[in-house]
């Protein structure tokens, strides 16, 4: 017997389930739209945006077909801000690198996998990376490499783990089979099954619903912390909204330019049944009967202000996302940005990119661990279980021209000089920083420099140093003639009077 309280609870539970299912469908649709914009396939979204602001749908249809999807602010921001600089990765077993994983990382193209994951969490907030062992052949021999796939937010649904909402409790996604049929694939830590036209059934190659791995072969990657939910469907929505609005404004601009870029011919005094001129142009003679008059109505509009508005909109939007739009809108003949200017304008972009480094590094360690598991699952040649994964993101350096490098170096040396004069830093500290040396190595260099003898003209005239010693102190290599290099200047004047005789000390230095 069902009491009233139980019946109410069941109704509420059913309503809650339907609400959550509806919200999940809406979330996937929103991210599917974001993905289509990212893939440059969003002309229909622009058309829908145009129709939404016009009461006259016939006019909206004429305008919408002129929408421009070639300028894609969303893709531009994601591609620039969330471009993965790459990483140095290694599985180290003691003092040696695990050669099996080194080959696997290249063959699976782990670099491309993590670059895609980085772009997805930057532009879509979350993603899921699946790592599966390779299939087995007739003799249970592995076929190929572990299979790796990056799921975008619109490609899967997740039921959160009860203890940690940022992790997967159950995941569902669509799989297309070779025969073209589609099934919904489900995974939990304990079970794995599919649902298709025949209902719930074991996954292909399986005789039951048990998860053969005893674990979820997925890695959850998030843009930030997820204390109470798995998906973030709000961050970055302004990228979608602005891109659609910008495409709509370009449609209006193109329509205005097309419709009002010429003068309109007007004929008055004609019968209402007059069909009008069938053709006009330089090869056509226009005629008018008695009482008829041909005139021109100037409908041309200056679109310069409209165009400047579009440019300003894009500039402000891109700069708000740390992307410098001036690089795309330079005036003809305008000098390119200097290296210093590029360095300054890229600092905000690099800062935004680096915020995601902790998340992508954690995800990469998890993916590497799962790759080791997937490989070792059915391969005889194993990746060492003792090996520790190490990953370090490459430091991004600003590219400068040779002239800019020389100017930067000159300014740097001037700063060093002032620092020494004010006693802020010693020469050894500056050399250690400049050359990346230890404090001991830098101090030794300073001592060697200070110990170098001071050479005056009378030293040379009196034969204190040989020619090679003089050349060495001037930073020049030995003389090509070893005999001459081992002689002093007075000795050279005696033996080679034509070359060294009769000159002053200064002349001797020049010949040296």
How confident is the model at residue 504, as a pLDDT? 43
Residue 93 and residue 242 in one domain? yes
The conformation of residue 55, written as its DSSP 8-state character, comes to S
* Residues ≥6 apart with Cβ < 8 Å to 473: 452, 453, 455, 465
Q: What is the pLDDT of residues 150-171, one digit of tens each?
A: 999 999 999 999 999 999 999 9
* Percent of the chain residues past pLDDT 70, beyond the cut: 84
CB-CB neighbours of 153 under 10 Å: 25
247 lies in a domain?
A: yes
* Residues ≥6 apart with Cβ < 8 Å to 268: 292, 293, 295
Residue 465 and residue 438 in one domain? no
> What is the extent of the structural domain holding 204?
19-270+292-399
482 lies in a domain?
A: yes
Choosing from 363, 380, 399, the residue where a domain stops is: 399
Residue 110: Cβ-neighbour burial (10 angstroms; 0-12, 13-18, 19+): buried
4 lies in a domain?
A: no
**What pLDDT band is residue 204 in, cutting at 50, 70 and 90?**
confident
Lowest mean pLDDT among 54-58, 186-190, 441-445: 54-58
How confident is the model at residue 71, as a pLDDT? 85
More confident residue, 385 or 10: 385
Nearest to 35 by CA among 115, 116, 131: 116
Residue 425 and residue 324 in one domain? no
Contact 327, 286 (CB under 8 A): no
Q: Which residues of 372-385 are buried (b: 16+ CB within 10 A; e: fewer)?
A: bbbbbbebeeebbe
Residue 310 and residue 215 in one domain? yes
Please check the confidence at residue 270 and state whether its pLDDT lies above 90: no
393 lies in a domain?
A: yes
Residue 164 and residue 299 in one domain? yes
Please check the confidence at residue 206 and state whether its pLDDT lies above 90: no
Q: What is the pLDDT of residues 30-43, one digit of tens each?
A: 999 999 999 999 88
Lowest mean pLDDT among 18-22, 140-144, 243-247: 140-144
CA distances from 312 to 131, 329, 376, 501, 502 (A): 45, 10, 56, 75, 75
CA distances from 401 to 338, 364, 395, 415, 434 (A): 9, 35, 19, 21, 20
Choosing from 451, 472, 492, the residue where a domain stops is: 451
Please give the torsion angle defined by the CA atoms of residues 142, 144, 148 and 149, in that order, rounded to the nearest 10 degrees: -110
Q: What is the mean pLDDT of the chain?
A: 82
CA distances from 496 to 459, 472, 483, 486 (A): 20, 21, 12, 14
Longest dimension (CA), the chain: 128
How confident is the model at residue 16, as a pLDDT? 63
Contact 356, 121 (CB under 8 A): yes
Choosing from 368, 383, 399, the residue where a domain stops is: 399
How confident is the model at residue 511, as a pLDDT? 40
Q: What is the DSSP string of 82-120?
A: T----EEEEEEETTEE-HHHHHHHHHHTHHHHHHHHHHH
Residue 83 and residue 184 in one domain? yes
Pairwise CA distance, residues 211 & 190, whole Å:
5
Please check the confidence at residue 411 and state whether its pLDDT lies above 60: yes
More confident residue, 74 or 462: 74
Lowest mean pLDDT among 3-17, 264-278, 279-293: 3-17
CA distances from 31 to 69, 127, 230, 280, 327 (A): 18, 11, 14, 49, 30
Contact 404, 338 (CB under 8 A): yes
Average pLDDT rounded to a whole number, residues 222-231: 89
Please give the torsion angle defined by the CA atoms of residues 234, 239, 245 and 246, in that order, rounded to the nearest 10 degrees: 180
Pairwise CA distance, residues 373 & 383, whole Å:
9
Residue 77 and residue 127 in one domain? yes
Q: What is the pLDDT of residues 492-505, one digit of tens each?
A: 888 888 887 654 44
Lowest mean pLDDT among 103-107, 130-134, 490-494: 490-494
356 lies in a domain?
A: yes
Lowest mean pLDDT among 2-16, 258-272, 338-352, 426-440: 2-16
Pairwise CA distance, residues 392 & 85, whole Å:
11
Q: What is the pLDDT of residues 427-484, one digit of tens each?
A: 888 888 888 888 888 888 877 666 556 667 777 787 878 888 888 777 677 888 888 8
2 CA to centre of own chain:
58
Pairwise CA distance, residues 499 & 491, whole Å:
12
How confident is the model at residue 155, as a pLDDT? 96
Please give the torsion angle defined by the CA atoms of residues 401, 405, 408 and 412, in that order, rounded to the nearest 10 degrees: 170
Q: What is the pTM of this model?
A: 0.70
* Percent of the chain residues past pLDDT 90, beyond the cut: 32
Q: What is the pLDDT of residues 366-390, one digit of tens each?
A: 999 999 999 999 888 899 999 999 9
Lowest mean pLDDT among 118-132, 178-192, 430-444: 430-444
Give the count of domains, the chain. Answer: 3
Residue 82: Cβ-neighbour burial (10 angstroms; 0-12, 13-18, 19+): buried
Contact 511, 479 (CB under 8 A): no
Alpha-carbon dihedral sign for residues 163, 165, 168, 171: positive
Average pLDDT rounded to a whole number, residues 6-30: 75
375 lies in a domain?
A: yes
Residue 319 and residue 445 in one domain? no
Please check the confidence at residue 336 and state whether its pLDDT lies above 70: no
279 lies in a domain?
A: no
**Radius of gyration from C-alpha coordinates of the chain:** 37
Please check the confidence at residue 133 and state whether its pLDDT lies above 80: yes
Residue 465 and residue 447 in one domain? no
Lowest mean pLDDT among 7-11, 186-190, 423-427, 497-501: 7-11
Return the top range by mean pLDDT from 207-221, 253-267, 424-438, 480-494. Answer: 207-221
Alpha-carbon dihedral sign for residues 257, 48, 320, 360: negative
How confident is the model at residue 476, as a pLDDT? 78
Residue 482 and residue 408 in one domain? no
Residue 313 and residue 224 in one domain? yes
More confident residue, 370 or 395: 370
How confident is the model at residue 471, as a pLDDT? 80
* Residues ≥6 apart with Cβ < 8 Å to 446: 426, 427, 428, 431
182 lies in a domain?
A: yes
Alpha-carbon dihedral sign for residues 307, 310, 316, 320: negative
CA distances from 189 to 218, 321, 344, 362 (A): 10, 39, 49, 21
Residue 193 and residue 237 in one domain? yes
Contact 462, 510 (CB under 8 A): no
């Amino acid at each position: 017997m069902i009491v009233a309280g139980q019946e109410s609870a069941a109704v509420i539970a059913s309503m809650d389930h339907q609400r959550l299912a509806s919200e999940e469908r809406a979330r996937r649709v929103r991210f599917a739209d974001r993905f289509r914009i990212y893939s440059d396939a969003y002309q229909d979204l622009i058309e829908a945006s145009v129709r939404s602001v016009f009461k006259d749908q016939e006019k909206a249809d004429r305008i919408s077909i002129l929408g421009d999807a070639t300028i894609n602010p969303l893709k531009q921001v994601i591609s620039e801000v969330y471009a993965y600089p790459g990483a140095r990765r290694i599985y180290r077993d003691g003092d040696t690198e695990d050669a099996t994983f080194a080959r696997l990382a290249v063959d699976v193209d782990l670099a491309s996998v993590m670059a895609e994951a980085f772009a997805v969490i930057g532009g879509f907030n979350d993603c899921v990376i699946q790592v599966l062992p390779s299939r087995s052949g007739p003799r249970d021999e592995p076929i190929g490499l572990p299979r790796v796939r990056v799921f975008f937010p619109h490609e899967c649904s997740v039921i959160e783990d009860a203890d940690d909402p940022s992790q997967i409790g159950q995941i569902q996604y669509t799989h297309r089979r070779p025969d073209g049929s589609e099934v919904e694939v489900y995974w939990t830590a304990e079970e794995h099954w599919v649902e298709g036209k025949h209902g719930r059934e074991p996954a292909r190659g399986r005789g039951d619903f048990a998860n053969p791995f005893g674990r979820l072969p997925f890695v959850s990657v998030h843009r930030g912390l997820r204390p109470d939910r798995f998906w973030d469907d709000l961050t970055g929505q302004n990228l979608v909204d602005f891109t659609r609005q910008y495409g709509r404004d370009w449609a209006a601009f193109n329509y205005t330019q097309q419709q009002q870029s010429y003068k309109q011919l007007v004929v008055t005094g004609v019968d209402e049944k007059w069909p009008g001129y069938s053709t006009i142009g330089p090869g056509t003679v226009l005629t008018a009967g008695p009482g008829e008059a041909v005139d021109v109505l100037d409908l041309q509009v200056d679109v310069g202000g409209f165009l400047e508005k579009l440019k300003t909109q894009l500039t402000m939007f891109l700069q708000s996302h740390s992307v410098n739009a001036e690089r795309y809108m330079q005036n003809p003949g305008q000098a390119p940005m200097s290296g210093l200017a590029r360095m300054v304008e890229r600092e905000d972009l690099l800062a935004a990119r680096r915020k995601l480094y902790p998340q992508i590094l954690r995800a990469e360690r998890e993916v590497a661990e799962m790759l080791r598991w997937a490989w070792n699952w059915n391969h005889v040649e194993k990746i060492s279980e003792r090996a520790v994964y190490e990953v370090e993101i490459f430091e991004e350096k600003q590219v400068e021209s040779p002239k800019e490098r020389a100017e930067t170096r000159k300014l740097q040396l001037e700063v060093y000089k002032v620092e020494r004069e004010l006693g802020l830093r010693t020469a050894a500290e500056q050399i250690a920083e400049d050359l990346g040396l230890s404090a001991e190595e830098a101090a030794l260099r300073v001592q060697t420099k200070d110990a170098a003898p001071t050479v005056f003209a009378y030293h040379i005239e009196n034969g204190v140093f040989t020619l090679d010693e003089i050349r060495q102190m001037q930073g020049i290599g030995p003389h090509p003639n070893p005999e001459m290099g081992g002689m002093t200047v007075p000795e050279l004047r005696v033996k080679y009077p034509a070359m060294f005789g009769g000159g002053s000390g200064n002349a001797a230095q020049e010949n040296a």
